[in-house]
Amino acid sequence: MAFDPLLLSRIQWAWVISWHILLPAFTVGLASYIALLEGLSFATGNPAWLRASTFWTGIFAVSFGMGVVSGIVMPFQFGTNWARFSDATANVLSPMMAYEDLMAFFLEASFLGVLLFGRHLVPPWAHFVSAIMVAIGTLFSSFWILSVNSWMQTPAGFSRGEDGRFFPADWLQIVFNPSFPFRLAHTVTAFYITTGFVVLGVGAYLVRRAEPGSEPRLMMRMALALLAVLVPLQMLIGDMHGLNTREHQPAKLAAIEGRYDTAAPAPLTLIGWPDDAAAIMRYAIEVPRLGSLVLTHSWDGEIRGLKEWPADQRPPVAFPFFGFRVMVGIAFAMLAVVIAGLVLWRRGRLFETGWYLRLCQWFAPLGFVAVLAGWITTEVGRQPWTVYGHLRTEHSVSPSLTGADVALSLAAYGIVYLIMFPAGIAVMIGRIRAGLSLRAEPRDPVEGLQSRAPVKAPPPAAE
């Protein structure tokens, strides 16, 4: 049986990056939250903040570790499977990736050690500063990697050599390419929302099982307050992001809308079954004129259909079409949960309403689903290009690879990730179950590591 190295490399990329993105989606938000808790603890001296911070730091450590190891896989993927892409784009993209490492990863890694193990080794302010540095590191990282990705979506500021390679012409245009501000805002907000729902859900779980102390309630209130601002804001940013896509990647927008024929005014297709071969949307349920209203902010604006592009320049419709609907559906459901929470809070029944607490628990993982759905919309909608309009995906893959090579590596990534990630999730759930009280003294056995400090023996490994 012959395997197609291109298709398998695409599946492998999608597999490794989808797992990776789940961790930044959590750690970017959680790092900021921990820095906030550390700051409150430092400023007020109230032990509740310290306990909450310690609790979340234990969970953060696990997700950060998984983020790092799954992240190290990523830059090597460019070389192993996408060598043609690397050769063609390195002059433009590589400095941004190098800056991510120099500005973000070193910062995170160095201060993480102090954040996790150093509470008693450095003065309280230095511990607080370490928490801030880790949080800033995660944001720098998002900045640079999203700039790289956005340039692939909406390339700008470059020239092309005779052999087709990309060369830098204007760094400001490259870094701040047209879709970057929207993507950065939308993605970082998404990360904060994702973390917010996890904190809300975990808080609700701890309230339900009557965990002593005020911390679970504090967590729920903080999360709700944040989400009340961010969820509506995210919808606004998402709308602006969509307008930007319409301008710069019209074929992707047509796929998101499921629109094969150009129309003005255009209806909004709520749901349907896209058929790329016949280029029609089957079983479509449409609302007249709404598409024009949402996307052009006018009654009869035009939306271009996929038939305006030759068949070999159209993205497959199903992934962007359904991915987008999942993301937006979740957004509206989140809004409902937040409004309900605010109403209950107003009435002073937030912590007594059993169904609502359970609902919060159910919503804890939904941010991750929305993030993945959004990215699948974005990335599959960019096809068949890796650099939109310039470099095709089939010209990006490493020429030396055979189908069997990639089948083997994909199987290896499949097996290892299916062992590692569920195990990591189990560890995190275990730490949540253990609750706040158990971890009052953070990671004491490992802390210190010095003979001058009061020496404590680490726990025996296995026995």
Partner 1 sequence: MFDFLPIWIVILGLAVFFYVLLDGFDLGVGILYGFAPAEDRPLLMNSIAPIWDGNETWLILGGVGLLAVFPLAYAIIIPAVYFPILLMLLALVFRGVAFEFQFKNPAIRRLWRWGFCLGSVLATLAQGFVLGAFVQGFRVKGRDFAGTSFDWLTPFAATTGVALLLGYALLGAGWLVLKTEGHLQDWARRMGRICLLGVLAAIAVVSLWTPLADPAVAARWFSWPNVAFLAPVPVLTALAALAAWRALNGWGPDAGPFLWAMLLFLLSYLGIAISLWPYIVPRQVTVWEAASSQGTQAFLLIGTLFLLPVIAVYSSWSYWVFRGKVRGDVGYH
What span, in angstroms and rounded, lies between the C-alpha atoms of 197 and 230? 11
Going by C-alpha positions, the residue among 248, 185, 200, 207 that lies closest to residue 387 is: 248
What span, in angstroms and rounded, lies between the C-alpha atoms of 243 and 366? 25
Going by C-alpha positions, the residue among 390, 378, 381, 13 that lies closest to residue 180 is: 378
Q: How far is the CB of 303 from partner 1 (least distance, A)?
A: 39
Q: How far is the CB of 295 from ligand HEM (least distance, A)?
A: 23
Among 173, 313, 353, 393, which residue sits at the site for ligand HEM (rule: CB under 6 A)?
A: 393
Q: What is the size of the binding site for ligand HDD (CB under 6 A)? A: 28
Q: Taking CB positions, which residue lies at the least distance from ligand HEM?
A: 67
Is 149 an interacting residue with respect to ligand HEM (CB under 6 A)?
Answer: yes
Q: How far is the CB of 411 from ligand HDD (least distance, A)?
A: 28
Is 239 an interacting residue with respect to ligand HDD (CB under 6 A)?
Answer: yes
Is 328 an interacting residue with respect to ligand HEM (CB under 6 A)?
Answer: no
DSSP structure string for 79-141 = HHT-HHHHHHHHHHHHHHHHHIIIIIIHHHHHHHHHHHH-TTTS-HHHHHHHHHHHHHHHHHH
Report the run of H or E that residue 6 belongs to, with start and end: helix 5-44
Q: What is the size of the binding site for ligand HEM (CB under 6 A)? A: 41
What span, in angstroms and rounded, lies between the C-alpha atoms of 355 and 347? 16
277-297 residues labelled b (16+ CB within 10 A) or e (exposed) = eeeebeeeebeebebbbbbbe
Compute the half-sphere exposure of residue 379: CA atoms within 13 Å on the CB side of its CA: 16
Comparing CB distances to ligand HDD, the nearer of 30 and 193 is 193
Comparing CB distances to ligand HEM, the nearer of 30 and 218 is 30
Q: How far is the CB of 193 from ligand HDD (least distance, A)?
A: 4
Is 370 an interacting residue with respect to ligand HDD (CB under 6 A)?
Answer: yes
Comparing CB distances to partner 1, the nearer of 149 and 249 is 149
Q: DSSP letter at 45?
A: -
Is 238 an interacting residue with respect to ligand HDD (CB under 6 A)?
Answer: yes
Is 143 an interacting residue with respect to ligand HDD (CB under 6 A)?
Answer: no
Is 108 an interacting residue with respect to ligand HEM (CB under 6 A)?
Answer: yes
The residues in 247-266 that bind ligand HDD, with binding defined as CB under 6 A, are 249, 252
From residue 390, alpha-carbon distances to 14, 365, 367, 377 in Å are: 21, 37, 33, 20
Q: DSSP letter at 269?
A: E
Q: Which does 197 bind (CB under 5 to 8 A by kind): ligand HDD, partner 1, ligand HEM, none?
A: none
Under the rule (CB under 6 A), what is the footprint of ligand HEM? 10, 13-14, 17-18, 20-21, 23-24, 27-28, 64, 67-68, 71-72, 74-75, 82, 85, 97, 105, 108-109, 138, 141-142, 145-146, 148-149, 152, 187, 372, 375-376, 379-380, 383, 386, 393
